[in-house]
């Protein structure tokens, strides 16, 4: 079953690259979430395709779950948050980036599917396979919790960087020392944990395309 799902996802990946060049898909929406693409804004829905430089906004008590089309990363946009997503191809792999403008995102990243970064005004978090929470504080500082694996956290202004291991929390102010302490995400309280515990991925996504002849095609795939 897992092999079948993987084959379907890879088929989807190359099909999308051939026809439309999207980089991610919306898996689930709760509350009020908007997508801004090429200067136009619309309400987000499950199954929406996301393209390079698209922005996603969530209002209070709202969230979104997104999946990059190579199956390499899933991100959860927390309430009252904003990100811009991007990706580049490198030797048939997608190097993915989430630019956090406001609020918090949780990232689940698989190995062997290209690199993944979360960028904030103060820091860059880089991984190849892990799970971590990134919070952009109102002060502009970045707080990072590593839930699984190891995350490399680098200042945006100077060359300082640190590896943040599972069970650790790090702070970056953009320059100077990156502070690391032992921490558990439970200290964030129940509101945060509710979003971390429940990814709420959709079981099936249907996507409609037009091929080069203008014919409408429906593509369906499963998500674990």
Sequential pLDDT tens for the chain (224 residues): 444 444 445 445 544 444 447 889 998 899 999 999 988 999 999 889 999 999 999 999 999 999 988 878 899 999 999 999 998 877 777 889 999 999 999 999 987 777 899 999 999 999 877 899 999 999 999 999 999 999 999 999 998 999 999 999 999 999 999 999 999 888 988 877 877 776 544 455 566 655 445 566 555 544 44
Estimate the share of the chain in helix, then strand, then coil, as percent rounded to the nearest 5.
15, 50, 35
CA 84 – CA 86 distance, rounded (Å)? 7
Would you state the pLDDT for residue 89?
Answer: 77
Please count the CA atoms within 13 angstroms of the CA of 44 that sit on its side-chain side: 29
Would you state the pLDDT for residue 72?
Answer: 81
DSSP H helix total and E strand total for the chain:
2, 19
Would you state the pLDDT for residue 90?
Answer: 75
Quick one: tokens of 123?
């820091």
Residues 10 and 52 sit within 8 Å (Cβ to Cβ): no
Residues 30 and 63 sit within 8 Å (Cβ to Cβ): yes
């Amino acid at each position: 079953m897992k092999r079948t799902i993987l084959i379907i996802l890879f088929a989807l990946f190359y099909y999308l690259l051939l026809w439309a060049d999207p980089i991610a898909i919306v898996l689930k929406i709760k509350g009020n979430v908007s997508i801004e693409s090429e200067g136009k804004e619309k309400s987000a829905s499950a199954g929406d395709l996301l393209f390079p430089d698209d922005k996603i906004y969530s209002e209070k008590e709202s969230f979104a779950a997104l999946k990059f089309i190579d199956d390499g990363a899933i991100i959860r946009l927390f309430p009252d948050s904003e990100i811009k997503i991007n990706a580049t191809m490198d030797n048939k792999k997608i190097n993915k980036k989430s630019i956090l403008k406001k609020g918090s995102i949780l990232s689940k990243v698989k190995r062997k599917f290209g690199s993944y970064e979360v960028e904030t005004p103060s820091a860059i978090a880089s991984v190849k396979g892990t799970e971590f929470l990134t919070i952009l504080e109102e002060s502009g500082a970045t707080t990072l919790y590593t839930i699984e694996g190891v995350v490399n956290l680098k200042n945006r202004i100077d060359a300082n960087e640190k590896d943040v291991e599972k069970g650790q929390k790090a702070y970056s102010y953009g320059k100077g020392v990156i502070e690391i302490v032992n921490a558990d995400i439970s200290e964030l309280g129940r509101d945060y944990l509710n979003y971390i515990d429940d990814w709420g991925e959709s079981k099936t996504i249907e996507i409609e395309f037009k091929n080069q002849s203008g014919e409408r095609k429906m593509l369906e795939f499963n998500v674990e």
